[in-house]
Amino acid sequence: MTIPSFITRTSLSADLARLGLDPGDAVMVHAAVSKVGRLLDGPDTVIAALCDAVGPQGTVLAYADWEACYEDLLDDEGRVPPEWREHVPPFDPRRSRAIRDNGVLPEFLRTTPGALRSGNPGASLVALGARAEWLTADHPLHYGYGEGSPLAKLVEAGGKVLMLGAPLDTLTLLHHAEHLAKIPGKRIRRIEVPLATLAGTQWRMIEEFDTGDPIVSGLAEDYFAEIVTEFLATGQGRQGLIGSAPSVLVDAAAITAFGVAWLESRFGPPSPRL
């Protein structure tokens, strides 16, 4: 009888360390778990290996968003018709599912004991580890990818971003670069969101730069991949295999600054002539 081969927590932790993940790191992870290989305990193996790699002083984060499923009801002003309001479940950071579009890892991380989630529905992140409370606290409802957001705090903390087999155009931190970039014509979206509170459901109108499409016209749908590819071509970042998954590890502050400069060089106001 042939014994099947599995990817283990120990081997993944070693792969993560070789790629450059260090004890004490705060790392935001985007993962295509199916590409890692046959895992002995499924996605929980990936989470355990990440926690091993960053150690007790480190923190593992993932972009959760939420599984809202009501946006087809919105009118032209971004509001939900009165007759539908009572049927739309409110966003509860402790219970609302992470959006399935981001793969299985965010929901597995969200439901891992000790994990915390930030309070902005569409921009919510989940975090597990030493700095989880600080990273997820006081997430602004308006412009949730900007100042005071978990993404801004990740940059402030000297964190990293790991693309574990995930497409490069899914690097969510670049939405923070979009927010920071001084370019004209950014698209803005206003949407009404139900929030779970002790007093019951509260409906709030939230304003945000529109992250559903490129932030200004003239950009390809997957332009984040172009930014990351050019960043890696400068010699920054690390590339290697985690299990069987081709992966990329980048410094959060460096990729954000690169993204801001990339956008401003193409869409910013022209430099004054001397």
pLDDT of residue 40: 86
Mapped onto helix, strand or coil, the DSSP state of residue 247 is: strand
Going from the first residue of the chain to its last (274 residues), give the mean pLDDT of each consecutive group of 10, the final group possibly shorter: 76 97 98 94 96 98 93 91 93 95 95 98 97 98 97 98 97 97 95 94 95 90 96 98 97 98 88 56
Q: Is 34 buried (19+), middle (13-18) or exposed (0-12) by CB count in 10 A?
A: middle
What secondary structure does DSSP assign to 16-71, as a single string?
A: HHHHT--TT-EEEEEE-GGGT--BTTTHHHHHHHHHHHH-TT-EEEEE-------G
**Contact at 8 Å (CB) between 29 and 172?**
no
Measured distance CA(238)–CA(247) in Å, rounded: 8
pLDDT at position 133, please? Answer: 98
User: E strands within 130-244?
Assistant: 160-164, 188-197, 200-209, 238-242
Reported residue count of the chain is 274
The predicted structure's pLDDT at residue 181: 97
The per-residue pLDDT for 1 is 55
Residue 4 vs residues 7, 37, 40: alpha-carbon distances, Å: 10, 12, 10
pLDDT value of residue 2: 56
Overall pTM > 0.85: yes
Tens-place pLDDT, residues 213-262: 899 999 999 999 999 999 999 999 999 999 999 999 999 999 999 999 99
Give the dihedral sign, CA 147/149/152/158: positive
> For 61, how many CA atoms within 13 A lie in the half-sphere containing its CB?
34
pLDDT given at position 71: 86
What pLDDT, on a 0 to 100 scale, did the predictor assign at position 68? 86
- Which pLDDT score is estimated for 69? 85
What local confidence, expressed as pLDDT, does residue 41 receive? 86
